[in-house]
Structure 1
Amino acid sequence: MSCRFEFVVAIVAALFMAAPATAQSAVGGPDGIWLTQAGDAKVRVSKCGAGICGVVVWLREPIDPATGKPQVDDKNPNPALAKRPIIGLSLFSGMHPTGPNQWAGQIYNADDGKIYASKISVTGPATLKVEGCVGAGLCGGEDWSRSSH
């Protein structure tokens, strides 16, 4: 009986040790196109050196109804940057890995023209958690969904 018990314990221990690797691989990486929670933009996330980059590749409303021209970064306080197109705009800077499927750095919010401290994590095969913080305690976030194109 003792031998059988040790065999069962060895199998259970092996399963527990393998579980984190299996769970992590099932989650997948950040690479791909992600739809923002509001559904108004898609961001292509890709590896940049040891970190990740995120660039706007699609807008629900690519044309500004007020001007009839492509949407620009008009909330940016820097006049030189306020004329750049939103499509092609880089949102992440300095996003470096902090753990498995987790990164930290800065994120640009084109809705208000400000840069925030940010954490990004892949929380499921089709979910990217994007968080931004002002100061030490005031944080908010949203879940982005993996897009097929």
Structure 2
Amino acid sequence: MRYISMLLLFTVISLTGVAQNKDAILGQWINSTGEAHVEIFKKGTKYYGKIVWLKTEKDEKGIVKTDLKNPNASLRSKPILGMEILKDFVYDDDKWTDGKIYDPKSGKTYSCNMNIKDNGDLNMRGYVGISLIGRTEVWKRIK
């Protein structure tokens, strides 16, 4: 009976290790185009991300790139570098859900879910309405 108890305990501990650590998403990621590095961080119980590196921080005229497509005209002069583009994600059942992702190239904000694949890549699923109608990008962790 003692061996069975030990076996059950070992099995439970092993299965617990398979589950995603809620803070596994923290750190820097490179987006799918290689144009930006995004640092994902935590505020309270929610997860956020900001652009911490741009391949080209300035445009062809040497002017710092700003959020020109933002629907709010008062934010169009805000630099893209340092911009918070991921907001309000909560960890639930091995994924980060109910967040928003902002695309400074289009000025649009999308609902978004994220999960880490077995190979360590980050799946970003942006969508409008339901997640079946959307687009997935794969981000890579910066080591």
Task: Give the TM-score normalised by the residue count of structure 2.
Answer: 0.84
Structure 1 residue 92, shift from structure 2 partner? 1.6
* Partners of 2:102 and 2:108 within 8 A in 1: yes
Structure 1 equivalent of residue 96 of structure 2:
102
Structure 1 residue 21, shift from structure 2 partner? 1.8
Aligned residue type for 2:117: T
For 2:21 and 2:93, locate their aligned partners in 1 and report how far apart those are by CA, in whole Å. Answer: 16
Which of the pair has more CA radius of gyration? 1
For 1:125 and 1:44, locate their aligned partners in 2 and report how far apart those are by CA, in whole Å. Answer: 19
The CA RMSD measured in Å over matched residues stands at 2.5
Alignment of 1:54-73 (within 5 A): 54-65=49-60, 67-73=61-67
- Match among 41, 44, 54 for residue 46 of structure 1: 41
Find the residue that maps to 2:79 and give its secondary structure.
Answer: coil
Alignment of 1:110-149 (within 5 A): 110-124=104-118, 126-136=120-130, 137-148=132-143
For these two proteins, the number of residue pairs brought into alignment is 142
Call closer, same or farther: CA 1:102–1:19 in 2, change over 3 Å.
Answer: farther
Structure 1 residue 79, shift from structure 2 partner? 1.4
* Partners of 2:22 and 2:94 within 8 A in 1: no
Structure 2 unaligned segments of length 5 or more: list them.
Answer: none
Identity %: 25
For 1:55 and 1:7, locate their aligned partners in 2 and report how far apart those are by CA, in whole Å. Answer: 50
Structure 1 equivalent of residue 83 of structure 2:
89
Structure 1 unaligned segments of length 5 or more: list them.
Answer: none
Question: Are 1:21 and 2:16 matched, yes or no?
Answer: yes
Aligned residue type for 1:20: L
- 1:102-143 CA-partner distances (Å, limit 9, x unpaired): 232111111210111110122246322111111224111111
